[in-house]
Structure formats: C-alpha cells, structure tokens
Amino acid sequence: KQEVTQIPAALSVPEGENLVLNCSFTDSAIYNLQWFRQDPGKGLTSLLLIQSSQREQTSGRLNASLDKSSGRSTLYIAASQPGDSATYLCAVRSANTGANSKLTFGKGITLSVRP
C-alpha cells in the first residue's frame, strides 16, 4: 500500500527566504506525482505535475523534482512571499493495475511566510 509522508507538518519562514518542502513515498512504482496548494476553506490548486519519466518541472518561482528510485520529491520555492502562505500537499499516482488513477496524498505542510 502506497504511503506518502510530508515532514514537517508546519513551517514558518521570513519573507524572501528560499525554501524546500519535502515529500516521500514508499512504493516507487508510480505514474506521476503532483504538488497542490490549498488555501483555508478552499479546494486544492494543482501547482506542478511530474511524470515518472521526468526529473523536474518548473513554474515561475516553483520547481519540483522527483527521484523515483529513492521515493522522494521536493518542492522548491524561491524568494518566498507572504502570499505563498498555504498548505502544500504532495500526491502520488500509483501504477496499480485497475486503479491507475488513484492519487495518494500526504497530509500536507502548512507554510507561513512572515512579512
């Protein structure tokens, strides 16, 4: 059974800092990995999707990397801003026959960027 872990559960940093959010998963047989952002009282917004054949994806100040063999992904946020404050969730799509669309989520990292 796939398990996704995100540690720490919460993080507080001063504005302007570059930061790395970590995600680990137990089963390396995946189709892809997706990073989401969730604001309080809102749904999830997809940030980046990395296919299993890719090593990284970039969007603006965000860069996500994937090391499938070691079961790890990182989300790098450059020059953090107070508007980046949210919960960041990592989700893995496992390559299980008959359930190839199932996303397994970590519990998220709640980020607070202090002005």
Q: What's the token pair of residue 45? A: 């917004």
| Interaction residues for other proteins, span 33-92 (CB under 8 A) | 34, 36, 41-46, 49, 51, 89, 91
Report the residue number, 71 or 108, with the smaller CB distance to other proteins: 108
* 11, 28, 105, 110: residue in contact with other proteins (rule CB under 8 A): 105
Alpha-carbon distance 52 to 55, whole Å?
A: 8
Nearer to other proteins, 72 or 102 (CB): 102
19 binds other proteins (CB under 8 A): no
CA of 5: how far to CAs of 20, 22, 44, 74, 79, in Å?
15, 8, 18, 12, 25
